[in-house]
Amino acid sequence: MAESTVGGQHFEHLVEYALAVCRECQHGVLPSHIKSHVQRAHPAKRKQAKAIAEELPVYKDGLMCQVDPNHCHRIFRKPEGIRKHWRDVHSWSAAGKGGHPTREKQKEIQERISQHCKKVHCQRLLVQGQGSQYFQVHEPDENNPNVVPVNSEAAWAQVGEQMARAWETIEKRAQTTIQEGERDEVNPWLERTQWLPYLVGIERPDLLACIEEPVAEPDARQEQQAEPVEAAIWAAMDGLARFSQASVIDQIGVFPLQPYMDKDAVVKHVRPWQQMLMFFARTQKEHAWKSPKYRFTRRQREAWEALMEEAEREVDGEEGHEEEMGEAREELDEEMMDEEMMDEGDEAMEVAEEEPGQGEGSRPKKLSKIQKACLEFCIALLNNRITRREYDSPLVCALAVLGVKEDGWKGPEQYPPILSAVIKIARFMVVQKGLEMSGPDEDSGDETDDDLDDSAYESGPSQRRRPKGCLQLVQRMMDRFIVRGSHSPMQWMLDLRTYGLKIHYNTTTRGHVEWTNGDELLYKELHFSMAQFRGMVHGLASESRRLLTEELMFSSKAAPVPAVPWESIRDNPTDERPGWNFLKDHRTRMPVDGERWLFERVGKSASIRSRFMKPGTQSGVDRQAVERYMDRVVEFREKLAVLMHMTGGQPARGPELLSVRHSNTVQGGHRNIFIEDGMVVFVTRYHKGYKVSGDVKIIHRYLPREVGELVVWYMWLVLPFQQRLEALVWEKEAVSSHMWPADPSGRKWTTDRLREALKRESRIAMGQEWTFAGYREMAIGISRRFLRGSTAFQADEGEENKEWAEEQAGDSIADEQAGHTSHVAGLVYARGIMEQSGAVADRRQQFRASSTDWHRFLGFQAGVDDQRRSSKRKRAPFESEADEARVDRWQRLRKMDARAQLKRMMGEEAEFRGVQEAAIKAITAGESPVVAVMPTGAGKSLLFMLPAWAEQGGTTVVVVPLIALRGDMAQRCKKLGISCVEWQSRRPPDAAAVVLVTPESAVGEEFATFLNRLRATRQLDRIIINECHIVLNRQYTFRKQMQQLGKLVAVETQMFMLTATLPPSEEDELFRRMHFERGQVRMFRAPTARSNIAYRVVRVEKERKRQEVEATVLAMVQQKVRKYKSGKIVVYGNSVPKVKGLAEKLKCHASG
């Protein structure tokens, strides 16, 4: 069929078909397309495209249609393809019409499919278009391999291809098939689990597929095969776990079963049980793949058959018979498990509290028939005494499948939580089984207790009586097959989990934190600098403040928000009266009554009042307006949660943060928010191990003044108004004391919601998404890098701080002299009458020191002030490093060759002009203040761009009064590679080298906070006031903030003034307004006279009409345009309408 004379290395000529076959691409090419194919697919091999390929690939997975074998021979390689062919061409379907197929029906469907298609070997010539269909070929003879071409290059190419295919087969087998390892490969975890000997030779994809969640109905998009029976079992297991968990919570005094999960956590933890049931379901029926071997005991087999029967009835909608199921369950009663154990490796269990007035809702009073059958089978799996080896137990076999991953095995970091989930759900089922056995009347249990024997073995009739109570039944089952020493699957699970946790806690985890360029953090896929991090935190604080003051408290310049009287706020941590907080302390004197302030503010403003009022309604308020207001409240609370999480010090876990209350409660006791020495502190008493140990860790997290102010404002002025609105509109009977209660819409706060809030805020500020767990690790890494060892965040709150103990050694001598430690002294002796219950002064001081160091690192002014007041505090590493970095930056700048740097920045042709070089030398020498008077176009901007370009570690602030000039400067800086940002309070540019700001913003409070932060972090290098003659503005009604730029001198940094308009006669006035002493100012003045500029005044008689004046102006402009075609003309008018009218006639843009 092939003509060898046309041969070559890459193509084979098929004479009979007038076709060429590309060996590399393995498909046919029409003769007219050979040239374009070579140019497109093999451009480097165009001259070599002469060799003949020996064959097209032969596919072994062809499916030939047999619906009409005499006329239809279409071949497909995918099942969905031939199914579509059956429907479209033959109007035939193997599944028939609608409904969920039973097991018998599924077998019939498989038989129909096998009758209407057959497997064949096939090839095809083209990959698309006409002639791309598959055709049948004979099966290749493996004993007679293809002859290698004689041509040496072609022969070697074919050898290489065969080598590649052979290696690809080996690699694929290694990735998909479980294989035995070498003897020198040491893996204690696999040796302990014995997964490898049990699962060797089995395909990983098959194992993973057999535990996937089933679908009850066919998926039209993926055409996934429906498994209604398996789906019914999956749902039954979920329902059983939920019902059993609720039963456990309803029981009083069932302490061995703690920690219990809430209903949401059950969904995740029941999944391993569901997966194991799918493993049994898919391996018990006929299947084409090699599966692990296991064997049910007699009672397990009976329980499984009963479960399958109920599942089929569930699918078919048939009514089962309770009597039939009752006899089967009587044989299987008594096989349960429960075991007290510490959840050392578990994830934090989230215990969600119900909001007042909201019940859990109704639930079924008893298990359904399929759920009961599922319970019986699970108990049968647990009640299996192991006498020979662990893998005699089907439960252990199924657990082995759960240890498989696509690319390997689940190790001691991933597998123990799976075992914990299995154990916990099993505990719930044990209690549920005890309840089912005890029945509604526990005193009526007189039947015998044969079924408590091991279900794997038969025994003679027993004369023992069944325990009567649920607790007795559970205890008996625990003793029989739950505790260690019972030789049950539970013992295997407990021992393996303990072994896995031992490996986990004695093995260092993989590191994710890396530092570059001094202060840039790399964490997994995240990368940011500390300046960007600070900017994110302060941007969030600024936006939260704006949202609270403007949208929730309706503040304005005319009606500001009352200031927080920090010095007069008192608190009594020992007061435990319900509903009490520091705002109700009789010693606290707030300037306004927070209970009515916001209500009265709304009432006094007609515009605000109209937003809430709606005449004709029963309540008198507009519900939609209230809902919009509550949406703003919810938005603020989300931002506040993230802000408190990031600024309080060591980040709390989600459940800890959500447990914070602003007022005392009857059940929870103490609130969590206090005032201590002018600082807001939130104290958490919850942690992930509370439900296990019953111990409560008391952790203090202090907030910076800027964040604490938001908390006080919210509690003092907004919360009373908000709660009363909720009571009126939503008719709530009670209001939660939590800082983050459920929204009025009913949406509750969970760790997932906190996680999404943190992701959103980090995405807005950084363009990256942070998670709670990721931020905790990053915060610890940052504190270890930049804070003192005594206040750096610990990996866990329980770790002992040895460096703090060394620093406080002198203070503890007196306690040791008294015969006790400082900790005991804080607990027992000389406690202050205002000391909070459970808190120790020494620990509280440590927490405060850690938090305030964090505040200083983030650049909050309150943290800096706290440092100045404390003479004993040591400098944190970040402060020393910042000082060193600033000194190094200035030293490099002083040594800089200005001319060389200019050429590097602007090009080899660049040269200094006028006073540029002298002025730049003054800047690099650190002189201040400096005034440079230079004509327009003389390169004033170069004086700050060159130093910022040469040393970008610091920040240069440039005050620019004109919008157009700011945009031009930003573009020029960007072109030169200088990080330049225009000031926005919502996104503080801490990481920018140049910050452009208007005079109005430059003298504002938010920008002052930004400057103080740059000073605290030693980033602020200089302040440039461009067009500094604006300070001399004498029109007090026009941009009066320009006259206040002298405030910037208080920042105590290098000041540089630039202008082209400063007559010598105005110098003294400028210096006075800027608070400069003339003797301290370094002046640079270049000639500012412009020979190409002339002034001309054309007087217009008053009698002339406006139209005539405009016509004269138009004529002048048009005459200038004709004369200076490349120039630009600016026309000013004394009113906006006049400017727009002239612009319309001149057909140009107008602004005003």
Give per-residue pLDDT as tens, 1039-1059: 777 778 888 888 889 999 999
How many Cβ atoms sit within 10 Å of the Cβ of residue 527? 14
Q: Which residue has the higher pLDDT, 651 or 1106?
A: 651
Residue 1137: its H or E element: helix 1136-1146
Beta carbons of 1046 and 1032 less than 8 angstroms apart: no
Select from 812, 846, 869 the last residue of a domain.
869
Compute the average pLDDT of residues 735-746: 87
If asked whether residues 782 and 714 sit together in one domain, one would say yes
Whether the pLDDT of residue 875 is over 90: the answer is: no
pLDDT at 508: 66
Beta carbons of 490 and 423 less than 8 angstroms apart: yes
Question: Does residue 133 belong to any structural domain of this protein?
Answer: yes
Beta carbons of 949 and 905 less than 8 angstroms apart: yes
Contact residues for 418 (Cβ-Cβ < 8 A; gap 6+): 272, 402, 403, 410
Whether the pLDDT of residue 147 is over 90: the answer is: no
If asked whether residues 929 and 1063 sit together in one domain, one would say yes
Cite the DSSP H helix spans in 514-564. Answer: 530-546
The single-letter code of the amino acid at 700 is H
If asked whether residues 297 and 368 sit together in one domain, one would say yes
Q: Is the peptide bond before 259 cis (omega within 30 degrees of 0)?
A: yes
If asked whether residues 432 and 536 sit together in one domain, one would say no
Strand-pair category, 1082-1085 with 699-702: unpaired
pTM metric for this prediction: 0.63
DSSP 1011-1078: HHHHHHTT-EEEEEEETGGGGG---TTS-GGGGGGGGGGGG-SEEEEEES---GGGHHHHHHHTT--G
If asked whether residues 608 and 714 sit together in one domain, one would say yes
pLDDT tens, residue by residue, 588-620: 889 999 999 999 999 888 888 888 888 877 778
**Six-digit token pair at 611?**
């937003």
Whether the pLDDT of residue 762 is over 70: the answer is: yes
Question: Does residue 377 belong to any structural domain of this protein?
Answer: yes
How many Cβ atoms sit within 10 Å of the Cβ of residue 756? 14
Question: Does residue 1014 belong to any structural domain of this protein?
Answer: yes
Domain enclosing residue 53, as ranges: 4-141+148-165
pLDDT range class, residue 649, cuts 50, 70, 90 = confident
pLDDT at 327: 43
Q: Is the dihedral of CA 625, 628, 630, 632 positive or negative?
A: negative
pLDDT tens, residue by residue, 1063-1117: 888 888 888 888 888 888 999 988 877 777 777 888 777 766 777 788 888 888 8
Number of separate helices (H) and strands (E) present in the chain: 42, 22
pLDDT tens, residue by residue, 923-941: 888 898 999 998 888 888 8
Q: Is the peptide bond before 929 cis (omega within 30 degrees of 0)?
A: yes
pLDDT tens, residue by residue, 565-590: 998 898 888 888 888 899 988 888 89
Question: Does residue 730 belong to any structural domain of this protein?
Answer: yes
Whether the pLDDT of residue 644 is over 90: the answer is: yes
If asked whether residues 1078 and 1118 sit together in one domain, one would say no
> In sequence order, what are the beta bridge partners of 12?
21
Whether the pLDDT of residue 963 is over 60: the answer is: yes
Percent of the chain whose predicted confidence (pLDDT) is above 90: 15
pLDDT at 259: 42
pLDDT at 248: 52
Question: Does residue 242 belong to any structural domain of this protein?
Answer: yes
Question: Does residue 1091 belong to any structural domain of this protein?
Answer: no
If asked whether residues 475 and 530 sit together in one domain, one would say no
Whether the pLDDT of residue 641 is over 90: the answer is: yes
Question: Does residue 874 belong to any structural domain of this protein?
Answer: no
**Six-digit token pair at 606?**
């007609």
From the list 1050, 1019, 1003, 1053, the residue with the least C-alpha distance to 534 is 1019
Beta carbons of 492 and 386 less than 8 angstroms apart: yes
If asked whether residues 895 and 857 sit together in one domain, one would say no
From the list 1023, 1025, 888, the residue with the least C-alpha distance to 956 is 1023
If asked whether residues 474 and 335 sit together in one domain, one would say yes
**Six-digit token pair at 622?**
């507009």
Distance CA 647, CA 706 (A): 10
pLDDT at 818: 47
Question: Does residue 261 belong to any structural domain of this protein?
Answer: yes
pLDDT tens, residue by residue, 323-378: 444 444 444 443 333 333 333 333 333 333 333 334 444 455 688 899 899 999 99
Whether the pLDDT of residue 559 is over 80: the answer is: yes
If asked whether residues 1006 and 1026 sit together in one domain, one would say yes
DSSP 1084-1125: EE-----TT---------TTS-HHHHHHHHHHHHHHHHHH-T
From the list 988, 851, 1008, 1005, the residue with the least C-alpha distance to 541 is 988
If asked whether residues 885 and 861 sit together in one domain, one would say no
**Six-digit token pair at 537?**
């935190």
Q: What is the domain count for the chain?
A: 5
pLDDT tens, residue by residue, 284-305: 988 888 889 999 999 999 999 9
Strand-pair category, 930-933 with 699-702: unpaired
**The domain that contains 904 carries what CATH number?**
3.40.50.300
pLDDT at 446: 41
User: What mean pLDDT value characterizes the chain?
Assistant: 77
SS (H, E, C) 802-816: HHHHHHCHHHHHHHH
Strand-pair category, 408-409 with 404-405: antiparallel
Instruction: Classify residue 360 by burial, with Cβ atoms within 10 Å: 0-12, 13-18, 19+.
Output: exposed
If asked whether residues 712 and 679 sit together in one domain, one would say yes
Percent of the chain whose predicted confidence (pLDDT) is above 70: 75
Compute the average pLDDT of residues 54-60: 69
Compute the average pLDDT of residues 849-854: 88
Range in 625-639, 685-699, 761-775 the model is least confident about: 685-699
From the list 715, 644, 736, 700, the residue with the least C-alpha distance to 836 is 700
Distance CA 820, CA 385 (A): 53
Compute the average pLDDT of residues 440-465: 47
Residue 217 sits at φ, ψ, to 5 deg, of -125, 155
pLDDT range class, residue 9, cuts 50, 70, 90 = low
pLDDT at 681: 92
